[in-house]
Structure 1
């Protein structure tokens, strides 16, 4: 498939990966401090040099297995070549930053306007500190995010950008451009909005947008799993609302080949922030799963939405048997559920925290995982899955694994 002709084509979680979007971590990580990391959705402060080394190793694995690796910053720079488009982009970034004072906004806009497009894109990602702007301190203010605490920035950094899975998700020949749940991440999906609208690779290719960031309900790509060319699973989690799931389902039923969406309700907690932190597809009938969501108080609840008639109408049934739902919707005789930590409660809890269930399939029965999750990786191999390990000492501090760090754009059909 020529990716230049069809820049988005993603009808499965496991088709051979041909094109993928990554973000190599940058100075935004160095604008994290112990005092600000909670507002910026981190539990620790990564070491940038090692995080980049680990990320480069991850990207090289994908390249050696035949995937084209695209980088978010480069696509954004190319999309913003027109001065008017660039001006609109910076305006929306400033608007989304929460700056209230008009003079401060003007100073930030002027500061960005004086930069090359390359430097401007990176500066928006890294953040603008309170002591950076030329001129006086009149109308000085701090960025205010989710809590009553304030951060020492006019534009807050975006350290979560290396988790490219969440701001947008490729589904079929289109994508969702997502309304992120928390203020710390809400500006991230602007990059993909401008790339799809203005980058020559995407702008005139007929890419469909199934859901836009201006929609009122939160959804993030870590909750969106493409199980086949007809079946989606979408988590209803800490970061994705049921209303968004229903809106996406209706849009897919109305304008695509998809006829089934499985809404998967998981606990509303940081430990289980997205569906892909507890459940991923690794082969035609194989799935990784965190044992804590299989049964008991944290068991996943399933709502199967089926296309009925025209114009996105649907029938909805509530189910409880995950194996049965997967077999029925995917036409399988049986499924293999491979437990994080091999089902051991201590190993499972430890390795799920380090994204042991967050596998990235790059071909059927071939996955990329973090090297630190030794018990889960062994269980995957014993189940017939080829496991490619990547280093994870610093990247894992952001609480996201290989699937979180990648936005597949093109996969082979299975």
Structure 2
């Protein structure tokens, strides 16, 4: 049996699923892309090469090895982008919840079946079909579960809207003892600088009581202000529109003191060090071209 336990974003990590860039397939056509940033790079001829992405992911695997974290990888599916393991499932407390993701990504879910099958049957949750949810929108934070969502009438037409209110309600029902707090995110199919693909693309808690945040990622100002009040202004690192575009909020915590971050995030990384964090810098800019970064490509299974 595989023991799973995740109560927040920053407790000491013991086991994680890290995606894979192996056999990630040819450069997609524009119409096959799921987000505006990938489209931008396909058009510009700067879409990332498999070899470069594999090197970036191995750099992360080495950091996990250094901190003695057990790493699971998805089974490799030929010509399939399997980098973003956070999208396909997520753990809250001792439950693993399968994400209901874009239908053409079903294959990715099968690739972690061997992990899913090791979890106690009663702790494997498949939500009703009407509940759309991806792990990048879901953040357990002790007594809270923060969830990014979009409830605009144009939801069906927005490919970047991944989590709906049906899922928010279902998760609240699954965890009645938690306070589920949802946040409306700014979405765009065409403009990557005005699109928060997931909650972790514009916000993430770090350490014990700090957070990285980008105001414009939130559609409702008072929801953004609630988070600022919750963490306290002095504990918040505000990122610019360009830093959000580069995915500065999508770092990943190994513990309350150790954070994996992209090596080009100079402003963020020096702030983190000033706050007393150990920053493990890795190259991840090529993967970042697909509008996902470190949190998106990791799915924690066990934190102390």
Q: For the superposition of Structure 1 and Structure 2, which TM-score range results when normalised by the shorter chain?
A: 0.7 to 0.9
Flag the 1:174–1:375 CA change in 2: closer, same or farther, 3 A. same
**What root-mean-square deviation, in Å, do the aligned CA atoms of Structure 1 and Structure 2 show?**
2.5
Would you say the 8 A contact 1:211–1:248 is kept in 2? Answer: no
What is the CA-CA distance between 1:197 and the residue it aligns to?
Answer: 5.3
Equivalent in the alignment of 2:77: 122
2: CA distance between counterparts of 1:242 and 1:288?
Answer: 24
Flag the 1:215–1:46 CA change in 2: closer, same or farther, 3 A. same
Equivalent in the alignment of 2:187: 268
Would you say the 8 A contact 1:281–1:361 is kept in 2? Answer: no
Equivalent in the alignment of 2:70: 68
Report the structure number with the largest CA radius of gyration. Answer: 1
What is the CA-CA distance between 1:225 and the residue it aligns to?
Answer: 0.5
Equivalent in the alignment of 1:22: 18
TM-score by length of 2: 0.83
2: CA distance between counterparts of 1:216 and 1:56?
Answer: 36
- Please say which of residues 35-44 and 401-410 is displaced more in the overlay: 35-44
1: CA distance between counterparts of 2:264 and 2:32?
Answer: 23
What is the CA-CA distance between 1:207 and the residue it aligns to?
Answer: 5.3
What is the CA-CA distance between 1:405 and the residue it aligns to?
Answer: 0.8
- Write out aligned runs for 1:174-253 (5 A): 174-180=95-101, 182-192=102-112, 194-195=113-114, 198=117, 201-202=118-119, 205-206=120-121, 208-212=123-127, 214-228=128-142, 230-237=143-150, 238-253=161-176
- Write out aligned runs for 1:7-406 (5 A): 7-28=3-24, 30-35=25-30, 37-38=32-33, 42-43=38-39, 44=41, 45-73=47-75, 122-123=77-78, 126=79, 158-159=80-81, 161-180=82-101, 182-192=102-112, 194-195=113-114, 198=117, 201-202=118-119, 205-206=120-121, 208-212=123-127, 214-228=128-142, 230-237=143-150, 238-253=161-176, 258-269=177-188, 271-293=195-217, 299=221, 301=223, 321-324=226-229, 326=230, 336-340=235-239, 348-406=240-298
2: CA distance between counterparts of 1:40 and 1:265?
Answer: 18
How many residues in Structure 1 have an aligned counterpart in Structure 2? 282
Flag the 1:223–1:35 CA change in 2: closer, same or farther, 3 A. closer
Higher relative contact order (CA 8 A, sep 6+): 2
What is the CA-CA distance between 1:59 and the residue it aligns to?
Answer: 0.9
Deviations 1:330-384 (A, max 9, x none): xxx88711122xxxxxxx2222112101111110032111112222222222333
Tell me, which stretches of 5 or more residues in structure 1 are unaligned? 74-120, 127-157, 303-319, 328-332, 341-347
TM-score by length of 1: 0.62
What is the CA-CA distance between 1:300 and the residue it aligns to?
Answer: 6.0
Flag the 1:292–1:381 CA change in 2: closer, same or farther, 3 A. farther
